[in-house]
Structure 1
Amino acid sequence: MARSVAVDAGASAVTGSIHSPRSVLVTGGAGFIGANFVAHLIATDPAVRVTTLDALTYAGSLDNLSSLDGNPRHRFVTGDITDAALVRALLDEDAIDTVVHFAAESHVDRSITGPAAFINTNIVGTFTLLEAARSAWCSAPSTRDARFHHVSTDEVFGSLDAADHPFVETTPYSPNSPYSASKAGSDHLVRAYHHTYGLPVTVSNCSNNYGPYQHAEKFIPTVIRSALGDQPIPIYGAGLNVRDWLYVADHCTAIDAVLRRGRTGHTYLIGGRSERRNIDIARQICAMLDELRPRASGVYSDLLTSVTDRLGHDFRYAIDSGLIESELGWKPAESFDTGIRKTVKWYLANPGHLERATKSAVGIAVSD
């Protein structure tokens, strides 16, 4: 039988309320950010039960959730978010009152060579989840509390010049890659379901994440695995492209704050206030490895190698996270210097993660 929530069909006003999640569906929860968020929820809220749905593509792994093996408050389901029957069944069977939607194809280079998968997962998959939530929650008035949180990226806003102000919540969308275009489409769908059907949604757009369990195809793990393998460390062009970096544990606390206290229908930008050039990050990691695990001969920075730049490579992304900081009282706990040191130490202590993930990495990945 369909459950329902207290929403007004056609509502478009931004309204605020305290949300208390009890049964949470996390999509993409075996991936990098999703797995960290699932662990965060289980560790910080003893009243929460989590159902993790993941298709276990190359980017997801049950190893990322191994710390939750045997936990009675966590259930893992292998499946695709485009499977409408499965998604609806999970919402009903587990009495889901909260959806946190991470599942996405996210590698820009892969989107350039094979965009179809990005349209299917990022747009059709998001549509499937929204339809299931609408059917389960919005069929009749009720006092049930519910929330659909959609996790997105700053890449939907396009590229910044060096002197431009960082992105804010009102920055116009201007995606430049098939990946960012697919995420922009999913963002618009989520907002449309709020304005049209009254579905209680929140959206967050984050800057580049880094930290434990990140897939080997991403920039920071690529630098680490290449260095430790004594292989050339690939850097697009001169490495002058700039990204704002956010430690994954800080991203998890930010999403939790938005989920519980964010205004429905609203978007929050989440950044680390840590802009860095790619070449500077690579050099910093090399210097840390020189200290923590010296090369047999020479220094790791000798391995830095310029390669042909990506097609349509955005120059700079940066986020102004002033809204979430002022409205919800969130701030990142880690600076880039502290976060990157924790990250390098984690990969040194967990070499098997890079070894497993490297088998499915696509070519090179020299900038997220």
Structure 2
Amino acid sequence: MKLLVTGGAGFIGSAVVRRAVAQGHQVVNLDALTYAACLDNVASVADNPLYVFEQADIRDRAALDRILAKHQPDAVMHLAAESHVDRSIDGPGTFIDTNVMGTFHLLEAARAYWVARGKPDRFRFHHISTDEVFGSLGATGQFTEDTPYDPRSPYSASKAGSDHLVRAWHETYGLPVVLTNCSNNYGPYHFPEKLIPVIVLNALAGKALPIYGDGSNVRDWLYVEDHAEALLLVVARGAPGRSYNIGGENERSNLDLVRTLCAILDRKRPRDGSYADQITFVTDRPGHDARYAIDPVRIREELGWRPSVTVEQGLELTVDWYLANEPWWRALQERHGVGQRLGVRA
């Protein structure tokens, strides 16, 4: 299969690219190389004959048409997106422009390409989204594919809008689409403005380990390599028009997660005292959702996918990766906004 992966130099996108090439797929990586992208993420496949890189913006329709016509992919896997909630609070316009309008332009380019090729049945437009579109859960319950949308941040609203566009292009134009909504990802190559890398890197630097509010917010944690495997299953075998929730089945509060990371670091990079002594509670994020949890029954029963690691195992692997790859994260810490507290505007 030949795959066009948008956002393939980002965190999740690069995991998809690496795994797809390892499985023998041809991959065209389309990325605008904005602040959160890094070509080092795909350095391991850069010289592979199955891999091609195209620098382009998903909002550039002419570039999309050219790249689709040139490479003639069997499927588009759409991961390119602005994704940091705190940045969306400070600058929502960029999120609407990229996540909504960018998805519109990509859908139209994909539709024109699909029609020009005679509407092949095997073509897929795979839209990768987030569980945040479903809003916030209480102490019980899980998100299913039928959960009503209830986005509560500019980021999640922009992703909800893009999800609706993808479904509309399937219903109106017959474009063969599949959708996935995932829980919180973590693992190697995670950009150092997100919770887990912030905690690991701040701990190593002797800085405060910031936890929003009282740390009781709960997330379902999904190891990025498991997610990439699930996405490749969905694009190959998912039913057109169908959506699949992908969860790690690993719910943890933010405070418990940080304490686990500190315990791992205490063992792997010991020092006087515990890294947990650096935990600091800070003003909560505006509109901070209380809990996310995914019900992954559909993807398990229809496609046979389950996560391969527990969150404790995945965090061990993640910490090991950051300890072994200091040049990678040091370079990214110099980028705009990294290391600053964003999203404090009410």
TM-score norm. by structure 2 comes to 0.96
Alignment partner, residue 14 of structure 2: 35
Alignment partner, residue 215 of structure 2: 239
The question of whether the paired residues in 2 share the 8 Å contact of 1:54 and 1:79 is answered with yes
- Give the Cα separation in 2 of the matches to 1:130 and 1:27: 12
Alignment partner, residue 7 of structure 1: none
Could you tell which deviates more after superposition, 63-72 or 184-193?
63-72
**Letter aligned with residue 313 of structure 1:** H
Alignment partner, residue 359 of structure 1: 334
1:139 Cα offset (Å): 4.2
The question of whether the paired residues in 2 share the 8 Å contact of 1:90 and 1:96 is answered with no
The question of whether the paired residues in 1 share the 8 Å contact of 2:121 and 2:176 is answered with no
Alignment partner, residue 320 of structure 2: 345
Alignment partner, residue 72 of structure 2: 95
- Give the Cα separation in 2 of the matches to 1:24 and 1:343: 27
| Residue 54 of structure 2 corresponds to residue 104 of structure 1 | no
Q: Find the residue that maps to 1:363 and give its secondary structure.
A: coil
**Letter aligned with residue 94 of structure 1:** H
The question of whether the paired residues in 2 share the 8 Å contact of 1:234 and 1:364 is answered with no
Alignment partner, residue 3 of structure 2: 24
1:300 Cα offset (Å): 0.3
The question of whether the paired residues in 2 share the 8 Å contact of 1:212 and 1:346 is answered with yes
1:49 Cα offset (Å): 1.4
**Letter aligned with residue 46 of structure 2:** D
1:70 Cα offset (Å): 1.4
- Give the Cα separation in 2 of the matches to 1:205 and 1:329: 17
**Letter aligned with residue 161 of structure 1:** G
The one of 179, 182, 185 equivalent to 1:206 is 182
Residues 248-267 of structure 1: pairs in structure 2 closer than 5 A: 248-267=224-243
Alignment partner, residue 172 of structure 1: 148
1:140 Cα offset (Å): 6.6
- Give the Cα separation in 1 of the matches to 2:218 and 2:329: 25
1:326 Cα offset (Å): 0.7
Q: Find the residue that maps to 1:76 and give its secondary structure.
A: strand
- Give the Cα separation in 1 of the matches to 2:342 and 2:235: 32
**Letter aligned with residue 250 of structure 1:** D
The one of 50, 75, 80 equivalent to 2:27 is 50
- Give the Cα separation in 2 of the matches to 1:90 and 1:236: 42
Kindly provide the CA deviation profile for residues 7-56 of structure 1, in whole angstroms up to 9, marking residues without a partner as x: xxxxxxxxxxxxxxx22110000000000100000001x2x211101111
Cα 1:143–1:317 shift into 2, 3 Å:
closer
Residues 200-349 of structure 1: pairs in structure 2 closer than 5 A: 200-295=176-271, 297-349=272-324
- Give the Cα separation in 1 of the matches to 2:52 and 2:209: 39
**Letter aligned with residue 38 of structure 1:** V
- Give the Cα separation in 1 of the matches to 2:134 and 2:339: 25
1:141 Cα offset (Å): 3.8
Q: Find the residue that maps to 1:75 and give its secondary structure.
A: strand
- Give the Cα separation in 2 of the matches to 1:274 and 1:357: 28
The one of 152, 155, 164 equivalent to 2:132 is 155
- CA RMSD across the alignment: 1.3
The question of whether the paired residues in 2 share the 8 Å contact of 1:222 and 1:365 is answered with no
Q: Find the residue that maps to 2:233 and give its secondary structure.
A: helix
Provide structure 1 residue ranges, at least 5 long, that are not aligned to the other structure.
Answer: 1-21
Kindly provide the CA deviation profile for residues 304-363 of structure 1, in whole angstroms up to 9, marking residues without a partner as x: 001000001000011000110011111011111111110111111111222122222151
Q: Find the residue that maps to 2:129 and give its secondary structure.
A: strand
- Give the Cα separation in 1 of the matches to 2:319 and 2:16: 20
**Letter aligned with residue 251 of structure 1:** H
Kindly provide the CA deviation profile for residues 213-236 of structure 1, in whole angstroms up to 9, marking residues without a partner as x: 000000000000000001000000
**Letter aligned with residue 305 of structure 2:** W
Q: Find the residue that maps to 1:52 and give its secondary structure.
A: strand
**Letter aligned with residue 116 of structure 1:** G
- Give the Cα separation in 1 of the matches to 2:277 and 2:93: 38
1:365 Cα offset (Å): 7.4
- Give the Cα separation in 2 of the matches to 1:356 and 1:32: 15
- Give the Cα separation in 2 of the matches to 1:183 and 1:87: 20
User: Percentage identity across aligned positions?
Assistant: 54
- Give the Cα separation in 2 of the matches to 1:43 and 1:332: 19
Kindly provide the CA deviation profile for residues 183-234 of structure 1, in whole angstroms up to 9, marking residues without a partner as x: 0000000000000000010000000000000000000000000000010000
**Letter aligned with residue 117 of structure 1:** T
The question of whether the paired residues in 1 share the 8 Å contact of 2:128 and 2:180 is answered with yes
Query: Following TM superposition, where does structure 1 have runs of at least 4 consecutive aligned residues deviating by more than 6 angstroms?
Result: none
The question of whether the paired residues in 1 share the 8 Å contact of 2:207 and 2:278 is answered with yes
- Give the Cα separation in 1 of the matches to 2:279 and 2:119: 59
Aligned residues: 341
- Give the Cα separation in 2 of the matches to 1:294 and 1:309: 30
- Give the Cα separation in 1 of the matches to 2:168 and 2:31: 25
- Give the Cα separation in 2 of the matches to 1:247 and 1:78: 27
